[in-house]
Chain A
Amino acid sequence: MTRMVFGNEGEEGTMTPTIEARGLTKRFGRTRALDGLDLVAEPGQVVAVLGPNGAGKTTFVRTVATLIRPDGGELRVAGRDVRREPAAVRRSIGLAGQSAAVEPAMTGRENLQMVARLFGLDRWAARAASGEVLERLGLSEAADRLVRTYSGGMRRKLDLGASLVGRPRLLLLDEPTTGLDPRSRIELWETIHGLVGEGTDVLLTTQYLDEADHLASRIAIVDRGRVVASGTPEELKRRVGRNVIEVRVRHREDLSRAAEALRGLDDGAVRVEEATRRVRVATGAGPEQLRSALGALGAAGVETDDVSLRSPTLDEVFLALTGGGPVGPAGRAA
Chain B
Amino acid sequence: MATMAMRAHGAERSAGFARSTLAIAGRTVRKFFRTPQLVLVGTIQGAMFLLIFRYVFGGAIGVGGLPYVDFLVPGYVTTGVLFVAMGTATGVAEDLEQGLVDRLRSLPIPGAAVLAGRALADAGLLVWSLAVTIAIGFAVGFRTHGPMIDALAAGGLLVVFGFAFEWAFITLGMVAGSPQAAQGLALMVFPLTFVSSAYVPVGSMPGWLQVVAEHQPLTVMVDAVRALALGPAAAAVLDHGAAWYVGRSLAWAAGIVAVFAPLAVARFRRG
Residues of A at under 8 Å CB distance from B?
62, 65-68, 87, 90-95, 97-103, 105-106, 110, 114-115, 117-121, 132, 135-136, 146, 162-163, 166-169, 172, 198-200
Contacts and interface: CB of A to CB of B under 8 A. Distances in A.
A21 to B, nearest CB: 17
A162 B13 contact: no
Given A105-B34, A167-B4, A167-B9, A93 B14 contact: no
B107 A90 contact: yes
Contact of A95 (B20, B35, B106): B106
9 contacts: A99-B99, A101-B100, A105-B30, A115-B107, A119-B13, A119-B15, A120-B108, A121-B13, A166-B10
Contacts of B27: 103, 106, 114
B106 A93 contact: yes
A87 B14 contact: yes
B31 interface: yes
Contacts of A120: 13-15, 19, 108
Given A101-B103, A198-B4, A91 B14 contact: yes
A143 to B, nearest CB: 16
Given A87-B108, A101-B98, A162 B103 contact: yes
Contact of B271 (A67, A110, A169): A67
Interface in B1-45: 1, 3-5, 7-15, 19-20, 23-24, 26-27, 30-31, 34-35
Give the most central of B7, B14, B19, B107: most A CB within 10 Å: B107
Contacts of B19: 117-118, 120
A95 B104 CA distance: 10
A174 to B, nearest CB: 9
A99 B95 CA distance: 11
A213 to B, nearest CB: 27
Nearest to A90: B108
A132 B15 contact: no
A75 B7 CA distance: 27
A65 B107 CA distance: 9
Given A68-B271, A105-B35, A117-B15, A92 B10 contact: yes
B109 interface: yes
A118 B109 contact: yes
Contacts of B20: 117-118
B145 interface: no
A99 B98 contact: yes
Nearest to A65: B106
Q: At the interface, is chain A mostly helix, strand, loop or mixed? A: loop
Most buried by A among B4, B10, B13, B100: B10
Question: Chain B, interface size: which category?
Answer: 35 or more
A103 B27 CA distance: 8
B42 to A, nearest CB: 15
A135 B105 CA distance: 26
A102 B103 CA distance: 9
A168 B30 CA distance: 27
B31 to A, nearest CB: 4
A136 to B, nearest CB: 6
A117 B23 contact: yes
Given A106-B30, A106-B31, A132 B4 contact: yes
Contacts of B35: 105
Interface in B79-116: 98-100, 102-109
Contacts of B7: 167
Contacts of B271: 62, 67-68
A95 B106 CA distance: 7
A146 B26 CA distance: 15
- The 8 closest A-B CB pairs, nearest first, are A101-B99, A120-B13, A169-B9, A92-B10, A105-B31, A95-B106, A101-B103, A90-B108
A199 B8 CA distance: 11
B151 to A, nearest CB: 34
Contacts of A95: 102-103, 106
Nearest to A126: B23
A2 B136 CA distance: 73
A110 to B, nearest CB: 7
Contacts of B30: 103, 105-106, 110
A229 to B, nearest CB: 29
Interface in B145-161: none
Contacts of A200: 9
B102 to A, nearest CB: 6
A233 B102 CA distance: 31
Contact of A166 (B1, B98, B104, B107): B107
Contacts of B11: 91, 167
Contact of B99 (A68, A97, A110): A97
A31 B189 CA distance: 37
> Which of B4, B27, B108 has the most chain A CB within a 10 Å cutoff?
B108
A105 B36 CA distance: 11
Contacts of B26: 114
B181 to A, nearest CB: 19
